[in-house]
Chains A and B, each alone.
Chain A
Amino acid sequence: NAGVTQTPKFQVLKTGQSMTLQCAQDMNHEYMSWYRQDPGMGLRLIHYSVGAGITDQGEVPNGYNVSRSTTEDFPLRLLSAAPSQTSVYFCASSRIGTGGTGELFFGEGSRLTVL
């Protein structure tokens, strides 16, 4: 199994551009989520999904959209990039339906810079 796969690993955007971070998992996990990691801030939850067709907001959802059309894929869309969205983004999945009571499996991360 590949686990959780994120693409791209690195991306530079200009302010106002849009892009999609891709996330796929091959473990048949119900729960998927996106976190952002900033220096000295830990990891903060952006959006999550407890199953195909179901998404909800986390702690810092503004400026991001998600969808979950299949169990495997959970893309994160930046609608109009801003310098404040410069960060490392992690996708994570969990076997059970709620994200907080089972091991989270993280992808390798996507480093995004917005100029």
Chain B
Amino acid sequence: GENVEQHPSTLSVQEGDSAVIKCTYSDSASNYFPWYKQELGKRPQLIIDIRSNVGEKKDQRIAVTLNKTAKHFSLHITETQPEDSAVYFCATYSGGGADGLTFGKGTHLIIQP
């Protein structure tokens, strides 16, 4: 089955700096790559996603890039703000096997004032 590796597990950045979280996956059939944000004690919520026919997607301060050849994708957050502090999960969908997302183990992003 699919294996998703996410790095780093913890990331601390100064407010206003950029943050980058990277994920690699094993199944070359994966074609959908969402990112979810989970604030402490809350439910995960989708913040951005990308499909395999697109290399990059932006939404205000967040962007996702995809390299299908290397089988990795990254989340980029610019001009970080205190409300960006949360755990971020990458995920993939391949359509083979179980019909659901395979999640990475998460990155705890800490924004230092």
Contact = CB atoms under 8 A, between A and B. Distances in A.
B22 to A, nearest CB: 15
Contacts of A58: 98, 100
A66 to B, nearest CB: 13
Contact of A43 (B32, B49, B94, B103): B103
Given A59-B1, A106-B44, A107-B43, A99 B89 contact: no
A90 B44 contact: yes
A99 B43 contact: no
- The interface size bin for chain B is 20 to 34
Interface of B: 1, 4, 6, 9, 31-32, 34, 36, 42-46, 49, 51, 89, 93-95, 98-106
B98 A98 contact: no
Given A100-B93, A101-B32, A43 B44 contact: yes
Contacts of B51: 101
